């Protein structure tokens, strides 16, 4: 379970994330959507423990990300917007290294062939990460997130740069991950995808959480029956820009 309580992140005097609170339960996919600069990546980096929040708390399975880092991170998989990979390892070595860091080599042994096949990386297994294309790097980043026993997934624009077959596979993977009981937060600008994939969405703008709920609940709440998530999003975010 992921719980975010009053999260604030300031860059000098600029408040990029402003009192954001929400919870994601096991078995839920939640979409994080918002215009450019809304604070989505900053919030996710705070949740992943990469940035230290100015204030607020982030609990991963009950463990606070900064106070109890090792325990919190054991349950966490973070796929950043721009994959940060070890360039001089091969694809195989990279996945194995991540599994070693999380002490989950048996999972790696059992799953890596299947993951490499599923993400069309099998013929690249002995190639250096530095030689991979953008989309392949993204796929490797996702595959690495699946070789440890995470049950909280933070995916920052995971579909950007992936080809249609890879994107289709990744969406199915996200659903499988949810069905296995994980809590998944996925940021995206693809509102059609968010509408189909997510159980709920969080709409952020200018650092604040503007709205939260299933698409059906948002339509009802804002009197926009029959309209798409895109319509609801544009109507809400236009008011604050
Ligand atoms: P996008 O959809 O464009 O990826 P986002 O919602 O992920 O946007 P962030 O990257 O979190 O937005 O940025 C939120 C705000 O914080 C922006 O105004 C951005 O310029 C600012 N910001 C981000 N990183 C820094 C930094 N390191 N120093 C100062 N300001 C920053």
Per-residue pLDDT of the chain (241 residues; tens, 9 = 90+): 999 999 999 999 999 999 999 999 999 999 999 999 999 999 999 999 999 999 999 999 999 999 999 999 989 999 998 888 999 999 999 999 999 998 899 989 999 999 999 888 999 999 999 999 888 898 898 889 888 878 999 999 998 888 888 888 889 889 988 999 999 999 999 999 999 999 999 999 999 999 999 999 999 999 999 999 999 999 999 865 5
- pLDDT at residue 239, rounded to an integer: 66
- pLDDT at residue 240, rounded to an integer: 59
Cβ 27 vs Cβ 188: under 8 Å:
no
For residue 42, report the distance from its CA to the centre of ligand 1, in Å.
6
Which residue's CA is the nearest one to ligand 1's atom 24? Answer: 42
- pLDDT at residue 166, rounded to an integer: 80
In 3-state terms the chain splits into helix, strand, coil percentages (rounded to 5) of 40, 25, 35
* Binding-site residues, ligand 1, Cβ < 6 A: 11, 14, 16, 34, 36-42
Which atom of ligand 1 lies at the shortest distance from residue 45's CA? 11
Q: What does the pLDDT look like over 183-232, one tens digit per residue?
A: 999 999 999 999 999 999 999 999 999 999 999 999 999 999 999 999 99
Structure tokens at 156: 């920052």
**123 phi, psi to nearest 5 deg:** -75, -5
Which of 37, 40, 82, 161 maximizes ligand 1 atoms within 8 Å of its Cβ, making it the mutation to test the pocket? 37
- Interhelix angle for 134-145 vs 164-179, to 10°? 10
Which atom of ligand 1 lies at the shortest distance from residue 39's CA? 11
Which residue's CA is the nearest one to ligand 1's atom 16? Answer: 16
Q: What does the pLDDT look like over 46-65, one tens digit per residue?
A: 999 999 999 999 999 999 99
Q: What percent of the chain is modeled with pLDDT above 90?
A: 76
- pLDDT at residue 146, rounded to an integer: 86
CA distances 230 to 209, 219, 223, Å, are 17, 11, 14
Which residue's CA is the nearest one to ligand 1's atom 27? Answer: 11
CA distances 175 to 52, 94, 114, 171, Å, are 30, 25, 17, 6
- pLDDT at residue 169, rounded to an integer: 83
Cβ 188 vs Cβ 174: under 8 Å:
no
For 92-97, the CB contacts below 8 A with 24+ separation are 92/116, 92/125, 92/126, 94/129, 94/140, 94/144, 95/140, 95/143, 95/144, 95/147
Q: How far apart are CA 55 and CA 32, in angstroms?
A: 20
Please report how many Cα atoms fall inside a 13 Å half-sphere around the Cα of residue 31, on the Cβ side. Answer: 27
Structure tokens at 24: 């994601």
**118 phi, psi to nearest 5 deg:** -60, -35
Structure tokens at 84: 């940060």
SS3 call for 63: strand
Q: How far apart are CA 238 and CA 132, in angstroms?
A: 39
């Amino acid at each position: 379970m992921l719980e975010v309580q009053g999260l604030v992140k300031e860059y000098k005097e600029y408040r990029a994330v402003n009192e954001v609170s929400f919870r994601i339960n096991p078995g839920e996919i939640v979409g994080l959507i918002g215009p450019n600069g809304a604070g989505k990546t900053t919030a996710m980096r705070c949740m992943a423990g990469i940035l230290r929040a100015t204030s607020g708390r982030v609990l991963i399975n009950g463990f606070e990300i900064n106070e109890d880092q090792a325990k919190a991170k054991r349950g966490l998989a973070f796929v950043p917007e721009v994959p940060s990979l070890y360039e001089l390892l091969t694809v195989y070595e990279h996945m194995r290294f991540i599994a070693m860091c999380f002490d989950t080599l048996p999972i790696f042994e059992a799953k890596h062939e299947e993951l490499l096949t599923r993400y069309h990386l099998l013929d690249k297994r002995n190639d250096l990460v530095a030689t991979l294309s953008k989309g392949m790097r993204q796929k490797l980043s996702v595959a690495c997130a699946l070789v440890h026993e995470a049950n909280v997934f933070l995916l920052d624009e995971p579909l950007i740069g992936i080809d249609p077959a890879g994107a289709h596979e990744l969406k199915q993977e996200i659903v499988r991950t949810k069905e296995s009981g994980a809590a998944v937060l996925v940021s995206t600008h693809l509102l059609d995808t968010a509408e189909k994939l997510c159980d709920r969405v969080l709409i952020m703008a200018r650092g604040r959480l503007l709205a939260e709920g299933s698409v059906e609940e948002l339509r009802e709440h804002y009197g926009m029956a029959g309209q798409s998530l895109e319509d609801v999003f544009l109507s809400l975010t236009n008011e604050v820009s």
